[in-house]
Amino acid sequence: MKEVLTKRIIPCLDVKEGRVVKGVKFVNLRDAGDPVELAAVYDREGADELVFLDITASYEKRGIMVDVARRTAEEVFFPYTVGGGIRTMEDIRNLLSAGADKVSLNTAAVKNPQIVREASKKFGSQCIVVAIDAKRVQGSRFKVQGEENLGLPTPNSQLPTLKWEVYINGGRTPTGLDAVEWARKVESLGAGEILLTSMDMDGTKNGYDIALTRAVSSAINMPVIASGGAGKLEHFLEVIVEANADAVLAASLFHYGELTIREVKEYLRDHGISVRL
Amino acid sequence: MIVIVDYGMGNLRSVQKGFEKVGYEAFITSDPEVIRKSSGVVLPGVGAFADAMHNLRASGLGDAVLEILSQSKPFLGICLGLQLLFTESEEDGLHKGLGIIKGRVLRLPTEVKVPHMGWNRIKKVCEAPILQGISDGSYFYFVHSYYVDPKDSDIVCTTTEYGIEFTSSIWKDNIFAVQFHPEKSSKLGLKILKNFGGMVYAHLPRS
């Protein structure tokens, strides 16, 4: 397939009860905890999209995120996604009508895959992202339902196949699902995009999980956003070139000003990658 | 007064807030009379072509929009609001559009991922007032699966490449329409809304 769209650079903000956590260290901010003001900063800096990850613990307080989405739509004029804690069709409708361009489903999709089908039918595939938190299964091979039909090596094979397991509830609960199979499944249900986070690499700054990203992006036809592990410029290039990621997400790297969106874009452009500058 | 036509197809607040951001008040309305009295009309919209036409007809909003189009009041179509101007669309069977612009709405080719979603470049074919201050090769945000194929190539304002080279905006007299989303295209998108606002107010008779 011909690559025609630019690769997207996406900062992610963790929001708790309407406030940004993991402090953002930009200068000249009126309120470093205000998600809307930070979204506007990233828009000015040339981010292609933004992800808000709602980490509010109590379900009752989740309405606050709808308000954040609404205020963002009033101030910021580029695409943004809201994820975290979305459970029902009503939650999705509320966020989209508040002005979010996409919602990202994680735990809800695993617990009730039909919500992916229903939501993509109702609101369009383009606004339904499935977030997958994946962790490498160490040592032994990972048993997957129906695996014998996939033509994989037998369990006695000398070379263990790399496998990743899907976790939910903010990475606390293993599901027994194979990440690549799960990505295929949600594609068949109508999801429009995968936000793929490597739990092994997240926070390490040692680079994205290339093998994971490649395994998922080559198994499906929809865009994959690589997440978890970005620490330097080379990591962005690597996951785009070697794993065919359509977009790259990073959080603290941008928030702490270690790299700017523009630096990443210029680096990618200088290495022959098409970006919006 | 700029009005944004609300015919039940998608979220219109971003468009309204975009106009506010660049200094123009815009009103969202589903009242055909308000549209008739306006000095400039914006027809946004996302969703299925057939549903959109059904809603426009059933509500009487389609007739009001047609009246505006036949006068010389500035009109801005966005995304589905561009496609609806055409004779017909191939989306989910063949459906008649408003028929103001001759041509058909076609499915993007299968060699590329559909929907076409993301930032893509425009190639300027003409110097329309709506594109004032926007340079050739600028990026705009697209989300669509169908594109317009006008019969009259003179109305093509910009083209964009995605599997094929398609018409990404048109200009005919008082009618401007874009396939991309100015309200989601950051600074340059707002510039388009600003240009449109300027035209609406330049067009008003001096009191």
Q: From the list A1, A75, A97, which residue is nearest B11 (CB)?
A: A97
Catalytic residue, from B79, B95, B144, B157: name it.
B79
Residue of chain A minimizing CA distance to B11 = A97
How far apart are alpha carbons B189 and B187 in whole angstroms?
Answer: 5
Going from the N-terminus, what domains does chain B have, and what CATH number goes with each?
2-202 (3.40.50.880)
Cα nearest neighbour of B139 on chain A: A276
Residue A187 near chain B (CB below 8 Å): no
Which residue of chain B is at minimal alpha-carbon distance from A126? B115
Using the beta-carbon criterion (under 8 Å), do A6 and B161 form an inter-chain contact?
no
Copy the structure tokens of residue B182. 């100015």
User: For chain A, how many residues are written?
Assistant: 277
Residue type, B182: P
Contacts of A95 (CB under 8 A, 6+ apart): A65, A66, A69, A82, A86, A103
pLDDT averaged over 10-residue windows placed end to end, chain A, 277 residues: 78 91 63 86 95 84 88 93 93 91 96 95 89 86 46 50 92 95 96 95 94 96 94 97 96 90 97 94
For residue B168, the tally of other CB atoms under 10 A from its CB is 27
Choose the closest CB to B190 out of A6, A77, A192: A77
pTM of the model: 0.88
Which residues in chain B have Cβ-Cβ distances shorter than 8 Å to A126?
Answer: 115, 117, 143
Pairing of strands B75-78, B175-178: parallel
From the list B14, B47, B141, which residue is nearest A73 (CB)?
B14
Instruction: Return d(Cα A245, Cα A211) in angstroms, integer.
Output: 11
Distance between CA atoms of residues A66 and B82, nearest Å = 30
With cut-offs at 50, 70 and 90, classify the pLDDT of residue B207: very low
* B126 is an active site residue: no
ipTM greater than 0.95: no
Number of other CB atoms surrounding residue A40 within 10 Å: 17
Both tokens assigned to A106? 């994680």
Left (φ > 0), alpha (ψ -120 to 50) or beta: where does B186 sit? left
Q: Are B41 and B143 in contact (CB under 8 A)?
A: no
Give the tens place of pLDDT for each residue, B121-140: 999 999 999 999 999 999 99
Amino acid at A92: I
Amino acid present at B100: I
Q: At CA A275, angle to CA B147 and CA A99, rounded to 5?
A: 60
Contact A96 B11 (CB under 8 A): yes
pLDDT for the residue numbered A126? 87
Mean pLDDT estimate for chain A: 88
Rounded to a whole number of angstroms, the distance from the CA of A141 to the nearest CA of chain B is 33
Q: For residue B120, which amino acid is it?
A: N
pLDDT of residue A202: 93
Q: Which residue, B91, B108, B92, B88, is CA-closest to B100?
A: B88
